[in-house]
A and B are shown apart, each in its own frame.
Chain A
Amino acid sequence: MAIFQPEKECMDREQLKKLQLERLQATVKRCYDNVAVFRERMNEKGLTPDDVKSLADLAKLPFTTKQDLRDYYPYELFAAPMKDIVRIQASSGTTGRQIVAGYTRNDLDMWADAMARQLAATGADENSVVQVSYGYGLFTGGLGAHGGAERIGATVIPTSSGNTERQIRLMIELGTTHLCCTPSYAMYLGETINEMGLKDQLKLKAGIFGAEPWTEDMRMAIQESLGLVAHDVYGLTEIMGPGVSYECDKQNGMHVNEDMFIPEIIDPDTGEVLPEGAFGELVFTTITKEGMPLIRYRTRDLCTLNYEQCACGRTFVRMLKPAGRTDDMLIIRGVNVFPSQIEEVLLKVSGDEITPNYQIIVDRVNNTDTLDVNVEMSEKMLSDDVRSVKAIEDKIVNQLRSTLGIGAKVHLVNPKTIVRSEGKAKRVIDNRKLH
């Protein structure tokens, strides 16, 4: 498979470290000069940008968390003047409010390179037809993959998500060779295509599937049903979007774009940096970003970094598929969902002072994630009029949709029917078994 930027992707690691240090120093200075919160935290620790003399000094710097993105919403973590910010993307935060990321022209340029590297690693080039079935909009998936596909000069079909019949028709009529979407949607497309008996009309060669957890079994099923090679991709809005790391044709871990991001693995409890190869929380420092550079951003994803040289020739470290999270965030149909968001809606709608007992049940039915919320009735919610109870149920459904950005099925149940263990209700049941 072609390598899009071998001068970066296959860089000698000693040279890479030099480049990383230069870029890290520049980024720390940029944040120190432009982001008041960061400067205060550095000052508290008695640090200035001059204290970053080696890559090891990174461990001295303060962490950034998702809470920070909420607290300093929307622009306080931006390190570039608004006149230089050309794009905003967003993702859900731990409560109703979204978190945003701002990109300068250079940031979008780097992002396109990062996704172009991913696409090239799947064999895509200027002769390819790339169908982007990730959602376009505030979600980084659609525009992220789009930018990379344009960068390699492929023909892009920006179908966005949904309307499966049209997706399949265009895929066949326009001869799509590369597909970008969530793995669960790829499963669904595959099944539908096989049911319609259209598999032999496909020209698919490879797919890039990310934004939600998936298993090796799903990879096998997708490869079989769509007749392509399925690649994993990793990213998060806070750091950039899809393309923070990407899987090559060896399908054995995702190469982190280390000329743009420095990964660390830390102990999630102590914050200590763990030795090479250890399992722990993944932390990223962006070293090229201008709009919203983040120093030591705690992803809450748990994984391992593999520094062994990959057979593909790339020298970038590989991160293994995240095997869990340190917080209670769920990824449902590619969307980040926190139980606290659901709790907030229930508190508001119930009209009570305490949140009604609830249980979140996540499952995967016909390859699509389902979200069910059981809510215990309280006296306050009950009425002799069935319509007013139904109205409460509808209100919960509508508010969940607008808060989470995805639909949920709501079931009202009798008090004390949600099973409690040791007096505390188990809030989340995830039946998908993804890890």
Chain B
Amino acid sequence: MIIKQISVFVENGVGGISEITKILSDNNINIRSAYVADTAEFGILRLIVTDTKKAEKVLGDSGIAVKETDVIAVEMSDTPGGLGGILDVLSDNGVNIEYLYAFVGKGESGALMVFKADDAQKAETVLENSGIVDINATSVYDSLK
């Protein structure tokens, strides 16, 4: 399924990320996944949180630059080749993956994979048609609560 990821600009320096996590916790927003990409000067913190809209608002109000992105989250089968199968389906259908990361979900297998595709809508359709994953698994929804 397509879910919302928020990207937050973080200046390098002591306490840069903790400032953000504090704002979220103060507003009772739970971080489901966090991933930092950085350069020597700054970082981009990618977050999946329990309440995206609220997170964007409270961070924006605190003067932090936030951007929303559509990403696809799927539950992985916890067997060898699980990830490879998904990637093959996407590449066979001409969907380019810009980045991916895993996080611990609440589903049966426990692992959720997040993909940023150049075309999220198409990626979702392709995966749904392939039958390789249950794109609408309730475990994904549960993991975001």
Contacts and interface: CB of A to CB of B under 8 A. Distances in A.
Interface of A: 377-379, 381-386, 389-390, 393, 411-417
A378 B65 contact: yes
A interface secondary structure, majority: loop
B67 A384 contact: yes
B63 A415 contact: yes
Given A384-B5, A389-B9, A379 B44 contact: no
A153 B101 CA distance: 72
Given A384-B116, A417-B63, A412 B46 contact: no
B38 interface: yes
Contact of B9 (A385, A414, A416): A414
B39 interface: yes
A393 B41 contact: yes
Nearest to A380: B67
Interface string B28-67: 0000000001110111101000000000000000011111
A378 B64 CA distance: 9
Contacts, number: 55
A413 B11 CA distance: 6
Given A379-B66, A386-B39, A389-B9, 9 more contacts: A377-B65, A381-B65, A383-B7, A383-B67, A385-B44, A386-B44, A393-B41, A412-B41, A414-B9
Contact of A415 (B44, B64, B98): B64
A351 B3 CA distance: 27
B116 to A, nearest CB: 7
A386 B65 contact: no
Contact of A379 (B42, B67, B98): B67
A383 B45 CA distance: 10
B91 interface: no
A390 B41 CA distance: 9
A383 B65 contact: no
Contacts of B46: 384
B69 interface: yes
A57 B13 CA distance: 62
A393 B42 CA distance: 11
Specify which of A377, A386, A415, A416 lies most central, judged by the most chain B CB atoms within 10 Å of its CB: A386
Contact of B98 (A382, A385, A412, A416): A385
A389 B63 contact: no
Contacts of B41: 393, 411-412
A416 B63 contact: yes
A385 B43 CA distance: 10
27 contacts: A377-B9, A377-B65, A379-B65, A379-B67, A382-B44, A382-B66, A382-B67, A383-B7, A384-B7, A384-B116, A385-B44, A385-B98, A385-B99, A386-B37, A386-B39, A386-B44, A389-B44, A393-B41, A411-B11, A412-B9, A412-B11, A413-B11, A414-B11, A414-B64, A414-B65, A417-B11, A417-B63
